[in-house]
Amino acid sequence: MSRVLLLLSCFISWEIFGDGPTFQTRPIKRLGIALYDSSEYLIPEYTLSNIHRKLEVIFNYFGYYLQYYDVARGVPAELLRDETLDSAAFIVSWFSDDSMETPDAFSRFLERAQKRGVKWMAFGHLGFAFDKKGLLVSPAIVNQALLPLGLDYNGTFVDNPILLENAIVTPYTSYEWKGEVRPYPMPLLKVVAPFEIWLSFKDRRSKKDFPAVAVSPRGALVLSGQELEENTYSGQSKWKIDPFKLVETVLAKAFPVPDPTTLCGKRLLFVHIDGDGFINISNTDRKSLSGQVIIERIIKKYKLPTSASLIGAEIDKDYLGGPSVDHVVQELFAIPYVIPAGHTFFHPLSWAQNPPDFEKKNYLNTTLRDKKHKGPILAYQPKDKQLSYERETVQSLALIGDKYLQGKMPALLFWSGSCRPPVEALALLEKRGVLNINGGDSRFDSVFDSVSHLAPLYRKVGPYTQVYAAGSNENVYTNSWQGPFDGYKKVIETFMRTETPRRLKPVNIYYHFYSGEFELSLKALDEVYKYALQSDLNPVHVESYIRLVRDFEAVTITQSAPETFEISNQGSFQNFRFDQSGVFPDYQKSKNILGHRVINGALYLITGPGPQSKLVLTRLPNTGPYVEWCVGKPKALFSPLMNGESVPRLEGDAGQILDAKIIPVL
């Protein structure tokens, strides 16, 4: 087999300090087109795809966002429009089989997209080598898509892996999984353009090599079985290939990434509490409400910005509420650093009116399943036994406002149960300006020891955004509150592993009021809070993070010169990350850039508020003065006279002087 192996350094061209006077201004394309086949899943929901579950978090890290298209019934009309393709940086597919309803149209679409400069990353099965009748698609049709990528297919598959042996094996194919490299059934593809071959196998019969993992600036191929090692029984998975190196190699462009993990040179910290168990009697003294115990022993003790939610049924006098509950709630919301939120009315476990079988299995006991349960599944039973999206969202928030906040409805809602609300529920919140969060269940620890268990930033539901929590709560670490009751302390491992070698997530302390039930669970919270207070963090309320995630897609970046980037539609973002070492802001030429800090080898930029910033890079490390870090949200750097000398100070968003490290000009 003829192949060309290129060094990785030849592929990654960061496009700064090198284009000279011929440089043309260009927008940075951050959109990726994600293709999935809903017929492969239990329900037609893109969030069940491996792209969303495993890969999207990697794209988010590099500053990209995905728009999903279901190709189960053919190529959607929107993908055939020039403007759709011209707005995209890449296409990513990850199919679990090789059959498709319209393989010819799909292959022609991929050919057209690649010819318009859109890169294609193909994970898993090709997805269109067979039609739905099981008939082999002509190699000429398949090659419409493969040849622009640099691969040639002659219609040959190897179904018996014993006919294959290892040929090229590189370290990039043992990123997390350290087990034996072995072949799986695969198509035999010929390399016809420059690629870096990360993994290939030799056909024992023809003695020729065929790629299983191939990467280039045009795109990538990662055949089924070589992307992940996954245990379907335990739910554990590990990457075989290095997904960071793959995305970095294919996209190969450094730009200021809107990064929601950081503010003013410090990692974000936010705390939010789900309302479950607020009214439970605590085992610590067998008389206090668990909510009261959390208030006294955690919230008042650590004094961190906290968003605390309530369940309507637990405070409504017609269900479980009463004066003793009201008294504790009033004490909670009187704390100045606590912001009220809602956690629905009857706590839907499934958000479907007719839940799918897998949710029935998760949320119903055996007796109810045997009776073939029909209708909604809620933790508390309303008198009408109905799942009302308006009651679970708007009415639950209005109840909190009317009872405790002089009629002012909270502007935050934390999803319950499956955390898969439908478009109707999200629309009700959006109409009233209510922010939302929950879902995702990110974790990365010694049990789920992989980046593949980290969720992306959000889930799109029609035109609306459901923001995922940045971490998992104690229900995950305590086997659904069956024990060990100090299990939540294990979240510290996730905090540590998502900080180095890359900062992938903020620190999200996320738990339920029922953690006030046991001394062990309170001890776990003490450990988590103490870890946070000893770390280099910038505490904010949860809505600050939610707004960052909601603004992620809208940020626009234009490269106007080899070393110059214009940032527009900045929204809530005041932190941008530039993944190249040895460069710094030129503070004399940049605009609205207040400072920087180098973390994990990356340049973290501190900007002021406002819709626009301009970054001009230099190799000179100090053209300051500049801010290295601060606590709070920065507004402006100024230099008042003190004792006859000009002393730099940092103003915060409320006009206060912030605690900050300011580096003077050397």
> For 159-274, where are the E strands, in sequence order?
164-169, 186-191, 196-203, 209-216, 219-223, 228-230, 237-239, 257-258, 262-263, 266-274
Computed over its alpha carbons, how large is the radius of gyration of the chain?
27
Token duo for residue 656: 């206060």
Q: At what angle do helices 396-404 and 323-333 cross, to 10 degrees?
A: 80
For 611, the token pair is 């819709």
Q: Please classify residue 383 by burial: count the beta carbons closer than 10 Å to its beta carbon, then call 0-12 exposed, 13-18 middle and 19+ buried.
A: exposed
Burial class of residue 59 (count of CB atoms within 10 Å of its CB; 0-12, 13-18, 19+): buried
pLDDT of residue 12: 37
pLDDT tens digits for 92-148?
Answer: 999 999 999 999 999 999 999 999 999 999 999 999 999 999 999 999 999 999 999
- Give buried/exposed letters for 11-30 (b at 16+ CB in 10 A, else e): bbeebbeeeeeebeeeebbb
Parallel, antiparallel or unpaired: strands 556-561 and 564-568: antiparallel
Alpha-carbon span 278 to 471, nearest angstrom: 21
Helices then strands, each counted (H, E), the chain: 20, 39
φ, ψ at 54 (rounded to 5°): -120, -35
Q: Identify the pLDDT of residue 624.
A: 77
- Tokens at 252, concatenated: 């190969």
Question: Distances in Å between the alpha carbon of 102 and those of 70, 85, 151, 420?
Answer: 12, 20, 21, 30
Q: What is the mean pLDDT of the chain?
A: 95
Cβ partners under 8 Å of residue 370, min gap 6? none
Nearest to 379 by CA among 453, 475, 289: 475
Q: CA-CA distance, 123 to 100, in Å (whole number)? A: 16
- Cis upstream peptide for 484 (omega within 30°): yes
pLDDT digits (tens, 9 = 90+) for 543-578: 999 999 999 999 999 999 999 999 999 999 999 999
Nearest partner of 248 among 207, 196, 317, judged by Cα:
196
Per-residue 3-state assignment (H helix, E strand, C coil) for 31-79: EEEEEECHHHCCCCCHHHCHHHHHHHHHHHHCCCEEEEEECCCCCCHHH
In the chain, what are the domains? Answer: 29-258 (3.40.50), 267-347+381-548 (3.20.20.370), 554-663 (no CATH)
CA-to-CA dists, residue 199 to 2, 42, 169, 195, 525, angstroms: 15, 32, 5, 11, 45
Across 311-343, b (16+ Cβ under 10 Å) vs e yields bbbbbbeebebeeebeebbebbbeeeebbbbbb
Return all residues near 277 (Cβ < 8 A) that are at least 6 apart.
290, 291, 512, 513, 514, 515, 516, 517
At residue 195, the pLDDT reads 98
pLDDT score of 14: 44
Residue 59 CA to residue 458 CA, distance in Å, equals: 12
pLDDT of residue 16: 58
Which of 496, 508, 434 lies closest to 469 in space, CA to CA? 508
CA distance 375 to 432: 28
pLDDT for the residue 42: 87
Q: How many CA atoms lie within 13 A of 571 on its CB side?
A: 20
Give pLDDT < 50 ranges for the chain: 1-15
- Long-range CB contacts (< 8 A, 24+ apart) of 352-358? 352/376, 352/420, 352/422, 353/387, 356/42, 356/43, 357/42, 358/42
For the chain, the first-to-last Cα distance in angstroms comes to 58
Rounded distance, CA 523 to CA 293, Å? 12
